[in-house]
Every structure is written in structure tokens, then in C-alpha cells.
Structure 1
Amino acid sequence: MGQVRALPVRGVRLKDAVDHFLSTIPSANTRRGYAVALNRLVSDFGADSDVGLLEAERVGGWFVFKWGGSSAQTFNVRLASLRAACEYWRAQQWLVGDPLVRLVPRKVPPDHSRALTRDEVTWLLAADVPLRERVLWTMLYETAARAEELLMLDIPDLDMGNRCAVVTRKGGARDVVAWQSGTARLLPRLLAGRKSGPVFLTDRKAKPGVAVGDIDPSTLRGRLSYRRALELFEHHTGGFARGPFTLHQLRHSKLTHAAEDGASTPMLMRMSGHTSVRSLGKYSRPSAEALIRWQAQTDPAARRRR
């Protein structure tokens, strides 16, 4: 006898299938990221269409039409979202087969230009933007901390006299980050005498249901989210020749510039919070401008002319 092939459960609406899958993802940021491709799928194929009838030829063609011209990274992120959903739907027996079988991830070329130039950092930190953004951007660059680490800071975590703060690193470890004059000058203006609550606040009062620890008791405003902070940064850096930039590039830039200025590997690891030299490697690669400057400074002919 031949193998008996399982049949999908018919009649599951695509919109319902997407909602069920997204509800299984605990992280709000991950959920929003997956929803980009999945909501587009629902919009283009129809909310009432049967998830079990998704076909490889049609889905593959649709995906290439939508994201074929995007960067390899975006292409792969959208494809990964759909693959995860399809795996879940197959486990529920709502789908048989793989409608993404004709699609393969693209090779992402190595990126050696993630760091901003020193001039770009100078222009950015002097930009005419609201005080909250100036403080966050300056602190991100000067501390080389992750944006998530700084956005989770509460005022009692700050040591203004010693220009440092205790943050929760990736993985949960508690660590100290330190800043310089730019942050030290701006931060008191942002706090405006507040003694408790999150350091970085939203523009409006917090919505019902927000955790008490994420609300400033004096203004009732909530903690600024990573998503909103990133949106604002991308908006304000869209006019740069290489923009828009990401918040992570401020951390990357500080570590790169510190390495160019001669910071030791242990100091770079202390600054970044990395626990392995291998993880630090991509951040401490000297920039193109640093290479050009070094070549000019060490040129034998230039030394003879002096």
C-alpha cells in the first residue's frame, strides 16, 4: 500500500491563521516584525481565503514581486517570518506542503561601513531636535550602550556625580556604563528635578494597563519604547547622504572610534559589555577615513617633507 497523505483541515481563514500564529509570539517587537509580511499576505490574498490552499507557484511569485527588489537582509527577514508561520500552520494541520518551497534566502554581503564618520556624529549630536532625542543620542554614542539598555534606565540607576549608570545588559547581567561631557551637560535639563521614574519618557500620558514601573509618577507619562525611539531617529537622519541610520550605529560608531584612538581590547570589552573578543571584532574595525588618515600620517615621503 502507498503512503496515506494527511489532508489539511479545510476552512481556516487566512486572517484567523495569521492571528493565531502571532498570538503565540511573546515578544511584542518580534510580533510586530513578523506581522509586516503576514499582514501583507492577508491583504493581497484575502482575509477569507483558505490557508490550506496556499500554493507554491502563486505565493512564490507574489513574494518575489513584493520583496524581490529589497536588500538581501529585508528579503530574508520577510521570508523567515512566513516560514515560521507556515511551520506553525502545518503543525496545526491547517496546511500541507510548503508554499515557500521555491524561495531560498539570499546571501547577505558583509557590511564594513556600519560606523558613522566622526563628522556625521558631530553633525548629528548638534542637530536641532527635541531635548529628549539629543540626550538619548548623545548618551548612546558616549556610552556605547545598547539602546534597549538605556531606554530601561530609571532615575535611581543614575550616578550623576560620577557620570555613570547601572544598566541591565543583554542576558540579564547588571553592569556600569559611563558617559562624557555631552551627556553630563544635557541630562540634568532632561530630568528637570525628577527623582524617580523612567529616564526617557513618552510625549503623552501612559495608556491604561502600562506597568507602574514604566510610568513617571509626577507626569504620568510612560517609558519611551525602542520602536518609537527608532522611528524618530530614522526620521531625523533620513536627510544624511548615507541615512537613515539606526540607533545601533551610534554604539557601533563609538566602539570603532575608540578602537581607532587606541583603546585596548579589555577597555573596548568593558565599554561594550561583550564577554568574548570574537563578538567585539566587527565593532573595532577601523573606518575608511581612519585608514586614509593613518596612511597619510605614516607615509615616508610625507615624513621627509616635514
Structure 2
Amino acid sequence: MTPAGEQLSPQQGVAAYLDHLRVERGTSRNTVDSYARDLRRYVRHLSEAGVAELRQVNHEHIVAFGVALRHGDGDRPPLAPSSAARALSAVRGLHRFAHAEGWTGDDPARDVRPPSLARRLPRALPLDDVVRLLGTPTGEDARALRDRALLELLYSTGARISEAIGLDVDDVDRRERTVVLSGKGGRQRLVPVGCPALEALDAYLVRARPALAVKGRGTGALFLNARGGRLSRQGAWRVLKSAAERAGLTTAVSPHTLRHSFATHLLEGGADVRVVQELLGHASVTTTQVYTLVTVNTLREVYATTHPRALG
């Protein structure tokens, strides 16, 4: 750890902060990687402003960085509002950490607030579309069996794609019909698995995974690629996107499509929002409650189109 009182450059401060997130906070790799990209841009911004030491940063430097994020800066393009907000959050975290460590006399980012974002409702597929999507990988070859098992598991558990591809074979308990998912910040949760997903997993584990595994180096990963290694996030996303195209879905899909559908369908079926929170691995119920807006909007649409006196 850099000793208090030593004059840190912005680069040194960022390196120490990222180490703190990784080691002490247990922040997920994806989040740390995103913060690293945002803070590299921030360091370049400070360098161009003539800032050589972290203690020289003031409120105006951070405000100017926020403007550059939204409008572009030199050869660096503007960021989407959500990405700009994330970058400012990274900068705030950096300066809060540096001040707490005694490396700066104050926290110049204390009064900087990321712009408020319009709440975007998650996009969920109708149940009929989900059924079509899950039935798309046909055939009995190893790839089809793997893809069917992956898609079934994503919808059955509400797992993030990164959580699904991070699974090892031992994380699935077929007797208890559960799976252990490792979410953000290393938090683990036990989630039930439905019968169709278990059947697809059994078919994959018995008839497909052994053939894929012999091509690799003995990894314990549940989902394998054609070379016998762990399936990547990009590979899993391609499986979902390809299945959606073959199913003829007109709604755009994203890596979270089946997760959103899982949560929305549970709430529409009467599940308690706290239970859905636990299944999704959300730290706060506030994050889960956005799905209740989806179901309320659906109710309004149905009411408006079917009730004889809904319209004035």
C-alpha cells in the first residue's frame, strides 16, 4: 500500500484504488475492468489539464471531465448517458478512497453527482416466444445439446450469462435440483432448477460434454466450447442471438433477455418481489422492483384494450 503523505500521481492513485476494489472489496472482474477503462480516460484528461499529482485535482477538473464524457473530447467520442454516469461513479470512488487513505486534503468529487438516468424497463419476452426460443437448438450433436442446456438453464434460473458460463459441473446438484450461482462481488446463491432444464442438462452431460472434454485440458467447467475449454461470455451470447434469429423473434434480444423474462414471468405468476430478489441475486429490492413496473404496464395495456369503459 502506498504510504500516507507520499505525493501520488493520478496513475498511482488509480492503480491503488483498483487493487482495493479487487482485493479488499471483492468487486467483480467485469466491474473492475469497466472502472479501469473509465479511469484511464480520466487520467488522460487530467494529464492534458496539466495535473501531475492527485492532490492537485479540484472540483472544476471533475466537472470538465463530465462535460467531456457527454460531448466528446478530442479523438474520444461521447459516451451514452449510462456509461458517462458509470465513469463519474468511478471517479467519485477514486477520490473518496484517496481522501479516506489520507493522500489528499479533501474530496474534490464529493459534490459531483452523476446525471440522473431515465428509468429503462427491462425487455421481457412473452412466454410463447421463450418456448420457441428454447426449442430452437434441434438435433442430437454435441453443440445442439449444449446450446439447449444453456438456454434452458438461463431461463430456469434467471442467471446472468457470466454466471452460467462460470459454472463448474460440481455446482449443479441434480438430485436436489439446484445450482450454485456466483454473482457480483463473489456473492453466491442457491437457485432451484426446473425439470426441463435438468433434462436438458442430463442429456448434455451424458451425451455431449464428454466428447467436448477430451479436446481440452480437463477443465471442470460445465459448458465447454468446441476446443474443450470453458465457453466464453461472447460464445454464450452468440448461442442466444443465433437461437433468437432461428426462432424468428421480432423483439430484439440482449444477453439479459432470458433473465428479464424469468423475473417478469415469476412476478406475473404471483411470486413475491423479495423472493425474486433472492433468485436474481440483487443486493437491494429496489433493483428488483423495476420488474413490477413491467407487469403494471402490461396490466394497463390489457385493461385499455379489453375493458368496455376503459377509454373516455
- The TM-score, its normalising length taken from structure 2, stands at 0.63
Matched to 1:100, the amino acid is A
Distance 1:168 1:123, change over 3 A: closer
1:199 aligns with 2:222: yes
Residue type at the aligned position of 1:188: A
SS in 2 for 1:74: helix
Q: Aligned AA for 2:57? A: L
C-alpha contact (below 8 Å) 2:124/2:264 kept by paired residues: no
What stretches of structure 2 of length at least 5 have no aligned partner? 72-77, 138-142, 214-218
Letter in 2 for 1:273: L
2:189 is the counterpart of 1:180: no
Q: Aligned ranges for residues 124-163 of structure 1 at < 5 Å?
A: 131=144, 135-147=149-161, 149-158=163-172
Call closer, same or farther: CA 1:150–1:8 in 2, change over 3 Å.
Answer: same
Aligned to 2:37: 36
Percentage of identical aligned residues? 22
Name the SS of the counterpart of 2:254 in structure 1. Answer: coil
Deviates more, 1:13-22 or 1:118-127: 118-127
Give 5+ residue unaligned stretches, structure 1.
Answer: 1-6, 205-218, 302-306
Deviations 1:146-174 (A, max 9, x none): 44553343334546699x44324765453
Structure 1 match to 2:20? 24
Spell out, residue by residue over 1:24-68, the C-alpha distance to the aligned partner (whole angstroms, 9 max, x if none): 122323321321221111233339932222233233212221136
Q: Distance in 2 between matches of 1:153 and 1:186?
A: 12
**Corresponding residue number in structure 1 for 2:140:** none
CA RMSD of aligned residues (A): 4.7
Corresponding position: 1:66 with 2:69: yes
Per-residue deviation at 1:114?
0.5
Alignment-derived partner of residue 265 in structure 1? 271
| Counterpart amino acid of residue 180 in structure 1 | P
Q: 1:273 to 1:142 in 2, by over 3 A?
A: closer
Distance in 2, matches of 1:70 and 1:153, equals 33
Question: What letter is aligned with 1:253?
Answer: S
Q: CA deviation at 1:289?
A: 5.5
Q: Structure 2 CA distance, aligned partners of 1:135 and 1:66?
A: 41
Count of equivalent residues: 270
Q: Distance in 2 between matches of 1:138 and 1:52?
A: 52
1:96, 1:33 → 2: CA distance?
27
Counterpart of 1:251, as a letter, is: R
Q: Which residue, 87, 91, 94 being the options, matches 1:78?
A: 87
1:89-122 deviations in whole A, cap 9, x for unaligned?
A: 22444433344356323223333x3032327656
- Distance in 1 separating the partners of 2:94 and 2:300: 45
* In structure 2, C-alpha distance between the alignment counterparts of 1:167 and 1:40, rounded to whole Å: 37
SS at match of 1:283: helix
Residue 140 of structure 1, CA deviation: 1.2
One-letter amino acid of the structure 2 residue matched with residue 199 of structure 1: L
**Cα distance change, pair 300–88 in 1 and its aligned pair in 2 (3 A):** closer
| Of 113, 126, 132, the match for 1:104 | 113
Partner of 2:260: 252
Residue 241 of structure 1, CA deviation: 8.3
